[in-house]
Amino acid sequence: MVNGATGKVEYVDSLGFYSTSTPVVADYTQDGIDDAILVVNYIETDELFRRFFHNMLVVIDFTKKEVIKIGESSDGHNLSTTPWVGDIDNDNNLEIIYSHGTNLRHTYTFDGMKVERINTKIPIRKKVKWGAYMGSNYDGVFR
C-alpha cells in the first residue's frame, strides 16, 4: 500500500501468484478504516509434484498489518475477476460477490466458472467508496 499523500510505502506483502484482478475496499473489520478485499490464488503440490490451483478471498487490515481469510478456499484460479462488495439485497449488511475458474489442474483456462456470494453480518454504516472494478460508480474516480 502506498500513501497517496506522501508516496511512502506503508504496507508490503507477497500474496499468491498471478492475477490481474484488483482489490475493492470496505470496512470489513468494523474499525472505521476501510480494508482491502481481494482474491488470492495459490498452488498446492502433491507427492507426485502435480499442481492443484486454488483461490481464496482475503482482507488486508492495514491498521493491524494482517491478512484475514474470508470463508473457505475454492478450487480453480481467478485470473482477472475483481470482487464486488455492497448491499445487494438491501438488508444493510455487506455482501461479497466474486467469480473464479473451476479447473483444479489448469490455470488460464475458461472451461468452467463459478460465481460465489458471501453474506456477512457486517453492517454497512457508510457508503462503500470502492466496491467494484473501477469503483462504486464504475467510472474510475475515487471520491
The residue type found at 133 is Y
Mean pLDDT of 79-102: 94
More reliable by pLDDT, 4 or 110: 4
pLDDT at 112 exceeding the cut of 80: yes
137 within domain boundaries: no
128 within domain boundaries: no
> What percent of the chain lies above the pLDDT cut of 90?
68
4 within domain boundaries: no
The residue type found at 112 is G
Total number of domains in the chain? 1
pLDDT at 97 exceeding the cut of 90: yes
E-strand spans in 46-124? 51-61, 66-75, 84-86, 93-101, 113-123
Strands laid side by side in the 51-61 sheet? 24-26, 35-45, 51-61, 66-75
118 within domain boundaries: yes
Please report the pLDDT score of residue 86 as a whole number. 96
Mean pLDDT of 98-120: 89
Q: How far apart are CA 109 and CA 90, in angstroms?
A: 35
Strand partners, 130: 25
105 within domain boundaries: yes
Indicate the burial class of 37 (C-beta count within 10 angstroms; 0-12, 13-18, 19 or more): buried
Domain range holding 28?
A: 24-123
Estimate to the nearest angstrom the gap between the alpha carbon of 89 and the chain centroid: 20
Please report the pLDDT score of residue 21 as a whole number. 85
Q: How far apart are CA 47 and CA 120, in angstroms?
A: 37
Please report the pLDDT score of residue 66 as a whole number. 93
17 within domain boundaries: no
Cell numbers describing residue 64: 493491524
Encode pLDDT of 4-27 as tens digits.
899 999 888 888 877 788 899 999
pLDDT at 44 exceeding the cut of 90: yes
48 within domain boundaries: yes
80: left (phi over 0), alpha (psi -120 to 50) or beta: alpha
pLDDT at 70 exceeding the cut of 90: yes
Please report the pLDDT score of residue 2 as a whole number. 86
